Structure 1
Amino acid sequence: LTYPRTDSRALPEDYLPTVKQTFEMLADSGMKHLAPHALTALNNNYIRPTKRIFDNSKVSDHFAIIPTLQAPSGLSEAEQKLYDLVVRRFMAVFFPSAEFMVTTRITSVVNQHFKSEGKVLVKPGWMAVYGKEAAEDVADAKEGDKGQNLVPVREGETVRTESVETKALKTKPPARYSEATLLGAMEGAGKLVDDDELREAMQEKGLGTPATRAAIIEGLLTEKYMFREGREIIPTAKAFQLMTLLRGLGVEELSKAELTGEWEYKLSQMEHGQLSRAAFMAEIAAMTERMVKKAKEYDRDTIPGNYATLTTPCPNCGGVVKENYRRYACTGADGNSEGCGFSFGKSPAGRTFEPEEAETLLRDKKIGPLEGFRSKAGWPFVAEIVIKFNEEDKNWKLEFDFGDDKKGEETGELVDFTGAESLGACPKCGGAVFEH
């Protein structure tokens, strides 16, 4: 296959001879499921210089993914399936359109009109590459295999209703994204933009590029903004907290596809000499300055959001514990006062509590071991979290509990490094450093 990291769907205008050579290679390849279609295209002169396929203006750094002149050999099952997908699409675009015979019937019942449609494939055209046949060519077809044909009746003929059935159905909410559907949503994000000019600018671009979309998703997973559960990708409390912050700061455009569309539109204007680079960069600088100013001025306690109220009472005074942008805090017995001062952060060591985890921690006074924490040096670690009463502050405080490792360190037991090889000298005191 040709270079895969491209989002172009067109070929260079001087590529017609190479395409014909590729069809000849496929026709002589001996691949029984592909060779006949390549031969059909050659014999019927389907390969023509049409602008829909050969268009230099629609080719970016690399043209569309197509098979090379090298016949495949020794492919694994997965590689063969991928090769077949590319080859079938490559051949199908040169085939003629498929033709259907569509029958539309309007039936009148007591002044109410009902529409019935029949659809039968007459000429498969490009669909032949994917194994479709014309209805009359389907041998030993069962009912429905030849398409949805209507029972013949004469115009104005009276018919008898055999049965009427009413179905009470409910719409289902959209399914959660999988990696495949999320990649598709990123690719087609421009379709959701309302502004015509911005939507046109994002046409066939979307969010990210074919080379970066998967890496963007992996980055969000690594930083715990979402996690995998089976095939589904589910946002975490950290992701919701970020969206709450963006809304509270009034910079929600950072999360919208319209921003990408606006930039693509202005880059297109620059390309055609309608906007200067200096003007575009000045707009970017002004937007950045505005966002940084809002971030500096924000009050973490007044960021609006859909915050939770925990069912477990405050361990210190029995008041109501509510969530705000940064913390879970006591709000007094009435749920609307300053409370007793008890609170704990929502994101200790960079890991954000899910509401259910905060409830468990408050109820059981401990939770874990939990993964996803990071030290100040950036190292990941696992730990339990406990809430303990602090005699000095006369209130309950959140602490990390490292279990047996911590207890072992507190014993002060000396470790014998006799015979062990030193890793080098301590940069502070010059003593030997050993691995333990």
Structure 2
Amino acid sequence: YSAQQTLDYVQSLYEKKLTTYPRTDSCYITDDDEEMLEELTEELESFLDITPADVDEAVPRTRRTVNREKVTDHHAILPTRSMLHADLDALPKGEQNVLKLIIARTLMAVSKPFRYLETLLTTECAGEEFTAKGKEVLEEGWKAVERKVLADILNRKQELTALPNAAENECGILNAELKEGQTSPPKHFTEDLLLHAMETASADSMPEGVERQGIGTPATRATTIEKLVQKGFLERKGNKKTKVLLPTDKGKALITVMPEEIQSPEMTADWETKLLQIEHGEMEPSEFMTEINTMITELVKNTEMKKGANALMKSKIIGVCPNCGKPVVEREKGWFCENRECRFVLWKDNAFFKRLGKRLDAHVADKLLRDGRVRLKDCKSAKGKTYNATVLLSCEADGRSKFSLEFEGGC
């Protein structure tokens, strides 16, 4: 699910009183909620028929989830007792899956640790050291809970590689080969990675004690990503299982012309520092607002930014010029040949298409450049009658575009 879908699902669960308040970035609860969490845990284990592992009675298993300093306005998302008596099968599939994740994470947080033994084997050949690692599970702990609650969602089983017992000088060389490779660039952002990056952006520059950190809030980050996709600055690509977020030409153009100060999360850090100074009486609110007004005024005056953005955003190549063979790019008023000496252009405000009661849009321009023709339905004649016809594209002797009609059943 996308970040916005997930937020919508958990908001719906909250409105149905199946989970607690969703718009939080805290993973902890306060001391006041610890007793409630212990009782809820026992009821969830009974509800799911999970046998709790032996725990140290001297230290409550919920203790590791308590951290008042890391709880801001709201504690971590938890299932409610109302959920235990609800008809969960009646929920939409997406809400069921998100609710299962919340239940699983709640129980995993109070379960025993996942313990394993890791073996590191170091060998030496021709003065070079080579290493191999192996793992052996000692105690499944919270992974057992994860597997039981999320079995139908995870659909995967990770096998750990165990190394054989080996004493010193027992290893020999079976074969050797030389492999050439290249370093890999950083992976593209998935939505969860981007959300984490937004949350931690400029964290090192933030002063101690600020209320907000990073870019946006838990309530706005998913919406911000969705808006960037809807506005055409980002696009999702990938398969059904994993989708990455990639900038579009429009997005790249915007970043190219946008002032550096707006792009940087350092601006948020600077504002938060000054808001903290205002809170402590070290800065006047009017001084802070004057700085903001001055910055906005300067940005509004910078008309070249908008002009540059329009130029970059409209230079998308959509085909090849039928007159000279150079690329045809989209601009504000039409699709132009990049060759300055060529006169070929497809005007968006096109008189020929207007007479047909049609509009020359990007789809029509693409078809004309690719196939030299485009079939149109329900064209209008001068007498108001409708007909179907094919528009043919050719060029005048001087390179200008020329259109003609081919009617169905003959010319």
With the length of structure 1 as denominator, give the TM-score of the two structures: 0.60
- The within-5 A match list for 1:1-400 is 1-27=19-45, 29-32=46-49, 34=50, 36-37=51-52, 40-41=54-55, 45-47=59-61, 49=63, 53-70=65-82, 71-76=84-89, 78=93, 79=95, 81-131=97-147, 147-155=160-168, 157-168=169-180, 181-191=190-200, 193=201, 196-198=204-206, 206-226=214-234, 231=240, 232=243, 239-241=248-250, 243-248=252-257, 250-264=258-272, 266-268=274-276, 270-271=278-279, 275-295=283-303, 299=307, 312-313=320-321, 318=324, 320=326, 323=329, 326=332, 328-330=335-337, 335=339, 340=343, 342=345, 344=347, 353=362, 360-362=367-369, 364=371, 396=401
Q: AA paired with 1:4?
A: P
Give ranges in structure 2 of 5+ residues lacking alignment: 1-18, 149-157, 350-359, 377-388, 404-411
- The CA deviation at 1:3 is 1.7
Deviation at 1:322, TM superposition (A): 5.4
Q: Which moved more, 1:205-214 or 1:168-177?
A: 168-177
Q: Alpha-carbon deviation of 1:112?
A: 1.2
Q: State the shift of 1:66 in Å.
A: 1.3
Distance 1:368 1:282 in 2: 59
- Provide TM-score, normalisation by structure 2: 0.63
Q: CA deviation at 1:258?
A: 4.7
CA positional deviation for 1:74: 2.2
- What's the offset of the Cα at 1:290? 1.9
Instruction: In structure 2, give the amino acid aligned to 1:54.
Output: V
Unaligned 5+ runs, structure 1:
133-143, 370-383, 399-436
Select the structure with the greater relative contact order (CA < 8 A; seq sep ≥ 6).
Answer: 2
Q: Deviations over 1:6-26 (max 9, x none)?
A: 222221232222122223323
1:342 shift after superposition:
4.2
The offset of 1:197, in angstroms, is 0.9
Which residue of structure 1 lines up, in the alignment, with residue 352 of structure 2?
none
Match of 1:378 in 2: none
Q: Aligned partners of 2:372, 2:208: CA distance in 1, in Å?
A: 55
Question: In the alignment, residue 41 of structure 2 is paired with which amino acid?
Answer: F
Contact 1:312 1:359 in 2 (8 A): no
1:358 CA displacement: 5.4
**Count of residues in correspondence between the two structures:** 346
Percent identity between the two aligned chains: 25
Secondary structure (helix, strand or coil) at the match of 2:110 reads: coil
Q: Give the match's secondary structure for 1:15.
A: helix
Over aligned residue pairs, what C-alpha RMSD do you find? 4.9
2:87 counterpart letter in structure 1: G
Give yes or no for contact 2:30–2:66 (8 Å, CA) kept in 1.
yes
Q: Does structure 1 conserve the Cα–Cα contact (< 8 Å) formed by 2:203 and 2:213?
A: no
